Structure 1
């Protein structure tokens, strides 16, 4: 009862992603590398901010967060594939203390362990 969940909701961004990939299915597939995708922001849906796409995800604070996701792009006319590395930017992600199992601080900031 004194423990908080290690699950949190956060926004992630894919900067410099081509606007042709601003479709829910493509963005959710990329977001699965981080956690469970929940929704797109309105600017992404309306394609009013072509510089980056944003997705709200449910993620586990105990799992390491990837900085990139690999995307394979296939040319339908030639069947040639190329690999593209897509950068992932994280908006605010809460800290999680593995010692007391509470959100809001890291283990190295724990008051009892480090008075």
Structure 2
């Protein structure tokens, strides 16, 4: 009974009517929609020195990979000196190491040893995202769909943002156009007012010039005004003559200083 259970457990996969059934150990964390992260696999140690092909050494070597369970028939019978093979229960969440240090340490000598290469046979892939066997995170379709959905949401948000910015820019453009139109209207109105003021000033100047011209004409044509102007001119000339004579008399009276 024990041997049958052991063989069945080591097979790991059983086919029933063409369908595969994976065997797993029960645990308190068991969920039907998730696969347990533990699996059985063969650990290969190629080129391992033949004197280390014993259970005492091999279980210590493969303990860095997982829990050692048993040796294969060739390793147990020592009929394949080129490679040792051990059945191990692995935690698929941990990274698979490809080398392990094998050496011995003595008190009177430095550390001596070598790196042993490790290969795996029958180790299934495990996805840490959806927690299912058969694929890893890089091949997870669930994660890929989620990433695609996120990318689409980012694209939609970017488009909405661009449209929002476009509407803001259009509104600003319309506002600037309205302000420019109002400024143009004010400028035109100011120019028109200036032109009207200039016309009014020119009109007033023309009217003033016409009035002064009419006054000059009336002054020139009126005989009384002409007589008055002549009398004023004669009085002015007589006054200038008297002043000049007075200046000459005063100059004669003042004696010259002797040198």
The TM-score normalised by the length of structure 1 is: 0.89
Aligned to 2:11: none
> How many residue pairs end up in the alignment?
113
Per-residue deviation, 1:72: 1.3
- Rounded to whole Å, the distance in 2 between the matches of 1:72 and 1:55 is 20
1:30 counterpart SS class: helix
Aligned to 1:70: 101
Aligned to 1:33: 64
- Rounded to whole Å, the distance in 2 between the matches of 1:98 and 1:23 is 35
Aligned to 2:91: 60
Runs (4+) of structure 1 exceeding 3 A deviation are: none
Per-residue deviation, 1:7: 0.4
Does the aligned pair in 1 maintain the 2:130–2:142 contact within 8 Å? no
- Rounded to whole Å, the distance in 1 between the matches of 2:126 and 2:50 is 34
Aligned to 2:42: 11
Aligned to 1:51: 82
Query: Which one has a bigger Cα radius of gyration?
Result: 2
The TM-score normalised by the length of structure 2 is: 0.41
Structure 2 unmatched runs, 5+ = 1-30, 146-259
More helix by proportion, 1 or 2?
Answer: 2
Match of residue 140, structure 2, among 104, 110, 113: 110
Structure 1 unmatched runs, 5+ = none
Per-residue deviation, 1:10: 0.3
Instruction: Give the 5 Å matches for 1:89-104.
Output: 89-104=119-134
Q: Higher relative contact order at CA 8 Å, sep ≥6: structure 1 or structure 2? A: 1
More strand by proportion, 1 or 2?
Answer: 1
RMSD: 1.8
